[in-house]
Amino acid sequence: MQTQECQARDRAHHLHPFTDFKALGEEGSRVITRAEGVYIHDSRGHRILDGMAGLWCVNLGYGRQELVEAAREQLEQLPYYNTFFKTTHPPAVRLAEKLCELAPAHMNHVFFTGSGSEANDTVLRMVRRYWALQGKPGKRWIIGRENGYHGSTVAGMSLGGMAPMHDQGGPCVPEIAHIRQPYWFGEGRDQSPEAFGRACAEALEAKILELGEENVAAFIAEPVQGAGGAIMPPASYWPAIKAVLAKHDILLVADEVICGFGRLGEWFGSQHFGLEPDLMPIAKGLSSGYLPIGGVLVGDRVADTLIEEGGEFFHGFTYSGHPACAAVALKNLELLEAEGVVERVRDDVGPYLARRWAELADHPLVGEARSLGLMGALELVADKATGSRFDKSLAAGNLCRDICFDAGLVMRSVGDTMIIAPPLVITRQEIDELVRLARRALDETAVRLAKHAATDAAQREEIRA
Ligand SMILES: *Cc1c(COP(=O)(O)O)cnc(C)c1O
C-alpha cells in the first residue's frame, strides 16, 4: 500500500484512540510498516529511534523471534480456551506461577485480564468486595491522584485523574476521589522537594479524614506517573504515603502497568520504592506488547479473603489468560530474566541514561531534566531563570514532538513536558544517538519558537502603526 493510499483509507474508516479525528484526517497518519531492535520504520523509508517503546511496552525491543515462535507454537497447540467454568491450560498456569515468583513475597496470586484498563476495573471491584467480605461494606471510596492514569474504560478513567477524560461521556464511577500529585517541578517549586513530598502525603491524610476512614477502601497510584509526564516523586513521598495508609488501614494499589517489568531497574516499581502493595495491576511490558495481556497481582491479605470467604466472584473476561498471550508473556519474562535485562537497566544503561540525559539541562529551553531507570522527562520553559512556561497557544511540546519525529526520534509530549521510555534493550551507543537527536530537536524547536515570537512582535507593531 502506498503511503497516500493508506492514509486515505485510514481517514475513511479508522477512528484513532486519543485523537482529534478531523485534524488527523487533514494531516494524514504516519504509516509504520516494520520495526527491529529499538527502531521503527515508516512507509516513506525513514528509520526512527523509538524513544517510547511503542506505548511504554516494547521492553525487549522489536523483532524478537523467540516471542514470535512462542505465539506460533501455542496457536498451533491450543489457540483459545477460556479459564471460566473450572478449566485451565498450561500457559496460564505457567505464567501465573512465574509472575508470583517474580513479584514481592507476599503476592502469590494473579487474576488475568486483556489490558491495563481491565486490570483496573478488576481492582475496583476487588477492593470493594474485599472490604465487604471483611464486614466493612462502608469502605468503598478509592482515592486516586490528579493527573494519574489508570486506563480508558469507565472505571479506569474514573480512577485516573485526567480532567479532560472525566469531561467526556461521564458521569464517572461514584465514590472515587483525587488528591494532588507529587509533581514538584509543576506544582511544588515554592517548597523544597522533600517538604513538598510530605505535603502531598498530608493531602492524602486530609482526604481520608474528610471521607472518614471507615469509608475508604484503597489508595491507587503509579509508583512513577507515566502518562502524566514521567513524574518521579520526591524521596520523602512514598515513605510518608505508606505511613498514612498503615495508620488508617487502607489498601495500597500500585499501578505497575508502566513501572513493572524492568522500567525502573527492578522487576516492579514497588520494589524500587520499597512499597508493599496489596494489589498490582500489570500489562504493557508483561508481553513486551507483542500480544495484549494484563492482570492484577493480588497480595495474600486480599487473596486469602476472596478465596476463603468469597464464594463466586462474578467477574472475568473472555480473554482472561488467553493461551497465546500467556505463552508470549511467559517467554518474555524468561528472556528478560535470562538476559539480565532488569539488572542492566539498574546497573548500566539506567545510570548511563541518567548521566547523558542530565546534560540536556544546560539547553536554553530545558527547565529540568530528570530520569529514573529508563524513563526520562524534559520540562520545556520560556525562561530558564524563572522556569516560566510558554504560552499554551504555542503548543511548544507538540511542536518539539513533531520536530523529533522528523529528525528520527519518537519523544512524546505531555503539555510542555517531553518524555522518553525506550526499549530496555537499548545500548549505550543508541542512548548517545537518542540524546543527540533530542538536543538537535530542542535546538530546532527553539529556533521555531523564536521565529514565531518575532513574527508575533512584528504583527503587533503593524497593528499599532
Ligand atoms: C497504559 C496504562 C493503563 C491502561 O492500560 P491499557 O492496556 O491501555 O488498557 C493503566 N495504567 C497505567 C499506569 C498505564 O500506563
Helix, strand, or coil (residue 143): strand
Q: How far is the CA of 122 from the centre of ligand 1 (A)?
A: 13
Domains 31-63+340-464 and 65-338 in one fold? no
Cβ atoms of residues 310 and 50 within 8 Å = no
Residue 460 has pLDDT above 90, yes or no: no
The amino acid sitting at 69 is: E
- Kindly state the average pLDDT of the residues 435-455: 95
Dihedral sign for Cα atoms in the order 448, 449, 451, 452: positive
Query: Cβ distance 282 to 223 under 8 Å?
Result: no
Segment 156-168 shows an average pLDDT of 97
Which CATH architecture fits 31-63+340-464? Alpha-Beta Complex (3.90)
Q: Is the CB of 257 under 6 A from ligand 1?
A: yes
What's the DSSP call for residue 347? I
Per-residue pLDDT averaged across 253-258, rounded?
98
Backbone angles phi, psi at 60, to 5 degrees: -90, 0
Ligand 1 geometric centre to CA of 287 (Å): 13
Q: Is the dihedral of CA 299, 157, 379, 420 positive or negative?
A: positive
Q: Is 34 exposed, middle or buried (0-12, 13-18, 19+ CB in 10 A)?
A: exposed
Average the pLDDT over 22-51 and give the result.
Answer: 96
> What gap in Å lies between CA 60 and CA 261, rounded to an integer?
10
Cis amide leading into 234 (omega within 30)? no
Query: For 385-423, how does the pLDDT look when each residue is reduced to its tens digit (9 = 90+)?
Result: 999 999 999 999 999 999 999 999 999 999 999 999 999
Task: Please give the average per-residue pLDDT across 202-206, as a whole number.
Answer: 98
Give helix 323-338 / helix 90-102 axis angle, nearest 10°: 40
CA 241 to chain centre: 20
Give pLDDT, residue 452. Answer: 87
- Domain 65-338: give its CATH code: 3.40.640.10
User: C-alpha cell of 457?
Assistant: 512582535
Q: Is the CB of 256 under 6 A from ligand 1?
A: no
Among residues 130, 136, 143, the alpha carbon closest in space to that of 300 is found at 130
325 pLDDT tier (thresholds 50, 70, 90): very high
Q: What is the pLDDT of residue 170?
A: 84
Supply the pLDDT for residue 362. 98
What's the mean pLDDT in 87-116?
A: 98
Kindly report the average pLDDT of the chain as a whole number: 97
- 231 close to 183: Cβ distance less than 8 angstroms: yes
170 vs 252, which has greater pLDDT? 252
Whether 465 shows a pLDDT value over 80: the answer reads no
- pTM, rounded to two decimals: 0.97
Atom of ligand 1 nearest to the CA of 153: 9
Mutate to test the pocket of ligand 1, among 149, 268, 296 (most ligand atoms within 8 A of CB): 149
Mean pLDDT over residues 351-378, rounded? 98
Name the residue among 31, 66, 91, 45 with its Cα closest to residue 425.
66
Ligand 1 atom showing the smallest separation from residue 116 Cα: 5
pLDDT in the model for residue 458: 85
Taking Cα atoms as reference points, which of 150, 180, 354, 337 lies closest to residue 264?
A: 354
Greatest CA separation for the chain: 81
The count of other CB atoms within 10 Å of the CB of residue 6 is 15
Dist. CA 145 → ligand 1 center (Å): 15
pLDDT confidence of residue 328: 98
Q: What is the pLDDT of residue 168?
A: 95
C-beta of residue 431 within 8 angstroms of C-beta of residue 349: yes
Q: Is pLDDT larger for residue 287 or for residue 454?
A: 287
Q: Where are the domains of the chain?
A: 31-63+340-464, 65-338
